[in-house]
């Protein structure tokens, strides 16, 4: 379908929707859930899908008298596929909301579709600051890299880390992590002596880590997307970085709960900043982690899962408020929601449509034979620094 034809079809679908008749008798509330279920980022898809299912198991599959139907599509983490799937979900399935989005380019590819069709789009996983600015119909329940990067940049210089090399995946969230870490760390008196960027997919870290060894910093600050943390850790240890006295710090993506137990004891002591740890100490989180494990063969939920779970909460609450609505009314009901998440208190800023939450400083520790990101400090109610102008 060419672009003009698509826009025409889309306009017709939107017209039908505003005329009301096509949907008035429709007794379903449809969620088009697009995730990478195969390929290198399949762990994100699996985590988010499991969380969506858990939310529905706990909260029922009807809202405002309508049956909730989740239509799950695998985009294989290819943006052109994500875009095609979003078009089909809007035009053919007439979904009330689009959700999921495992990586920044996948979310950005769908922003024009959300805008043109006035379909709210809930980003449950991707985390580049600018995503919410790509369409006024985008709401985010994941996090932003600047939120996490600034947290660790405040902690490090107070804890003897003055000279750092940064290493990030070379695309949106990595560039955010690099920039916001460097700005805050430098402001706090630290120095970033080298900024390294690795390919987003299947990176070989070894040549980069060799450079880090030669630079002899106090620490390496790293961001890699969920799914790649274990490979980074393995090569960090193989290169003898820890033995050379170089510490590892980063955003919590590198000590991802999905992989942490498999990374081994060399991770003990790694300090990161993030919005979610599976060991977050609250009754709600204990219940979430427990139920998630029971339903998924012992799998531990990671920060992607919590983004999916909270995304479902935002969607369900907005569906209740609007009697299973769509478009601008549904979007308005998503803005400004305040609730308790397994991560802690959480709020959708009505102005920016982005998530405001606590950022925790955590250290990997072994507790009862398992590795956990143990939270030991908190920065409360952090807005995305990428939007605080
Ligand atoms: C992203 O592509 O926005 C992304 C993916 C994985 C992460 C963080 C950000 O862990």
Nearest CA to ligand 1 atom 6: 225
User: Which atom of ligand 1 is closest in space to residue 304's alpha carbon?
Assistant: 10
Percent of the chain predicted with pLDDT > 90: 92
How far is ligand 1, taken at its centre, from the CA of residue 225, in Å?
5
CA of 70 relative to ligand 1 center, distance in Å = 23
Per-residue pLDDT for 19 more than 70?
no
The average confidence (pLDDT) of the chain is 94
- How far apart are the C-alpha atoms of 311 and 309, rounded to whole Å? 5
Ligand 1 pocket: which of 34, 75, 102, 304 to mutate (most atoms within 8 A of CB): 102
pLDDT band with cut points at 50, 70 and 90 for residue 18 = very low
Distance between first and last Cα of the chain: 40
What 3-state class would DSSP assign to 66? strand
CA atoms within 13 A on the CB side of 366: 9
Task: Tell me which residue has its CA closest to atom 2 in ligand 1.
Answer: 103
75 C-alpha vs ligand 1 centroid, how far in Å? 15
Nearest CA to ligand 1 atom 8: 225
Torsion of CA 349, 355, 359, 363, to 10 degrees: 170
pTM: 0.94
Which residues have C-beta atoms less than 6 Å from ligand 1?
103-104, 126-128, 172-173, 225-226, 253
User: Mean pLDDT, to the nearest integer, of 209-233?
Assistant: 97
């Amino acid at each position: 379908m060419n672009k003009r034809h698509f826009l025409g079809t889309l306009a017709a679908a939107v017209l039908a929707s505003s005329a009301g008749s096509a949907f008035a008798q429709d007794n379903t509330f449809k969620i088009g859930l697009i995730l990478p279920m195969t390929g290198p980022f399949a762990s994100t898809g699996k985590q988010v899908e499991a969380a969506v299912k858990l939310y529905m198991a706990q909260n029922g599959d009807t809202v405002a008298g309508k049956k909730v139907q989740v239509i799950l599509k695998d985009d294989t983490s290819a943006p052109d596929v994500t875009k095609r799937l979003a078009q089909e979900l809007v035009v053919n399935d007439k979904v009330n909301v689009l959700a999921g989005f495992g990586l920044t380019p996948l979310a950005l590819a769908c922003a024009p579709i959300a805008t043109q069709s006035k379909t709210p789009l809930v980003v449950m996983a991707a985390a580049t600051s600018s995503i919410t600015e790509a369409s006024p119909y985008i709401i985010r329940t994941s996090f932003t890299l600047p939120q996490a990067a600034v947290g660790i940049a405040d902690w490090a210089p107070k804890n003897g880390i003055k000279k750092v090399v940064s290493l990030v995946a070379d695309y949106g969230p990595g560039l955010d992590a690099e920039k916001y870490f460097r700005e805050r760390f430098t402001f706090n008196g630290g120095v970033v002596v080298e900024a390294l960027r690795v390919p987003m997919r299947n990176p070989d870290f070894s040549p980069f880590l060799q450079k880090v060894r030669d630079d002899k910093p106090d620490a390496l600050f790293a961001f890699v997307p969920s799914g790649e943390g274990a490979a980074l850790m393995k090569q960090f240890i193989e290169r003898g970085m820890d033995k050379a006295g170089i510490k590892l710090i980063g955003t919590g993506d590198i000590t991802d709960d999905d992989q942490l137990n498999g990374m081994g004891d060399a991770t003990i002591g790694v300090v990161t900043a993030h919005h979610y740890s599976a060991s977050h100490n609250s009754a709600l989180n204990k219940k979430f982690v427990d139920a998630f494990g029971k339903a998924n063969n012992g799998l531990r939920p990671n920060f992607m899962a919590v983004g999916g779970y909270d995304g479902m909460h935002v969607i369900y609450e907005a569906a209740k408020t609007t009697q299973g609505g769509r478009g601008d009314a549904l979007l308005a009901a998503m803005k400004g929601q305040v609730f308790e998440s397994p991560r802690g208190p959480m709020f959708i800023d009505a102005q920016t449509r982005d998530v405001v939450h606590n950022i925790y400083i955590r250290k990997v520790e072994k507790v009862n034979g398992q590795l956990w990101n143990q939270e030991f400090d908190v920065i409360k109610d952090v807005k995305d620094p990428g939007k605080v102008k």
